Amino acid sequence: MSTQLPTLDPSVFDPPPEAVQFYVDSLKLLQEHGFPFLLSGTYALSCYTGIARPTKDLDIFCKPSDAPKILSFFKNQGYEITIEDERWIGKVWKGEHFFDVIYNISTASIPITDDWFKEVYEVEVYGTQVRITPPTEFILSKLFLQDRYRYDGADVAHVILKKHDEIDWKRLLDQMELYWEVLLIHVLNFRFIYPTERECIPRWLFDEMMERIQAQAEMPAAEMRICRGRLFSPRDYITDIVEWGFADVVGKGIEEKHERKT
């Protein structure tokens, strides 16, 4: 089953005028070549909530096996390619303009799989009919973004409010099995923000996670001191690892140097 959404007006995203043709050409090439991909980020958020805000790029989600094919294709078309982080993201450039090729939720290591493509949501943007990230997967892509000045909890809350009936809550819980507390954080966040809309989240999900909290409270503290903060922000919890003796679980290198402003 395919859900056709109203055509997006790109002007509401205030793209740099000189970047628009790059976006037009990029989406057209991706679609014409038959690459399986999902447009996500601000564009998907706007489709589901009507919220529009300026954005400087496109977020293209694909499976890890398709990412090298997409990047290689654009390289052969004369575009510049960079691999920002082998674990999750590459970029396609034309001058100062770019789009991201994302194939993994990096900090939690949740790859884009065929399951992300089972539900079909389509929209026309920049003159091309494209698929966007379904509501369940959109939320999954946002749960860990709490890095310095960026926190995407509002995006999660807004999509739950507007699309709760279309979210596969069982799949979301399954995908967050190792990090269910992060999902609980967002559930509680939603309940606090919208006290009259609490029924948007299934009661069975809330009860299940409350039961887990109760069981966890009976457990002794782990012997190894671990900081999982870098699942949210690779930078904000460096002190915990290098000075305070906590074991790390994931994240970028301690010292990062960026040659290019992204």
- If asked whether residues 53 and 28 sit together in one domain, one would say yes
Mean pLDDT across 112-122 = 97
Q: By mean pLDDT, which of 19-23, 104-108, 242-246 is the weakest?
A: 104-108
- Whether 162 has a pLDDT exceeding 80, the answer reads yes
Q: Give percent of the chain with pLDDT exceeding 70.
A: 94
In a domain, 155, yes or no: yes
User: Chain-centre distance of CA 153, in angstroms?
Assistant: 12
Q: How would residue 250 be classed by pLDDT, with cut points 50, 70 and 90?
A: low
- If asked whether residues 151 and 127 sit together in one domain, one would say no
- Taking only the tens place, the pLDDT of each residue in 55-95 is 889 999 999 999 999 999 999 999 999 999 999 999 999 99
In a domain, 256, yes or no: no
- If asked whether residues 76 and 187 sit together in one domain, one would say no
- Whether 255 has a pLDDT exceeding 80, the answer reads no
Mean pLDDT over each residue of the chain, to the nearest integer:
92
What's the confidence (pLDDT) of residue 16? 87
- If asked whether residues 73 and 148 sit together in one domain, one would say no
- Whether 46 has a pLDDT exceeding 50, the answer reads yes
- Of 115, 133, 151, which residue sits at a domain end? 133
Three-state SS for 10-38 is HHHHCCCHHHHHHHHHHHHHHHHHCCCCE
Q: Which pTM was predicted? A: 0.90
d(CA 57, CA 206): 36
- If asked whether residues 192 and 122 sit together in one domain, one would say no
What's the confidence (pLDDT) of residue 88? 94
- If asked whether residues 160 and 54 sit together in one domain, one would say no
In a domain, 261, yes or no: no
Query: The domain spanning residue 79 has which CATH number?
Result: 3.30.460
In a domain, 262, yes or no: no
Structure tokens at 167: 């979210």
* Torsion (CA) 159, 160, 162, 163 in degrees, nearest 10: 90
- If asked whether residues 178 and 231 sit together in one domain, one would say no
In a domain, 194, yes or no: yes
Domain residues for the domain of 200 are: 138-219
Give the number of domains in the chain. Answer: 3
- If asked whether residues 158 and 67 sit together in one domain, one would say no
The C-alpha angle with vertex 152 and arms to 237 and 187, in degrees rounded to 5, equals 95
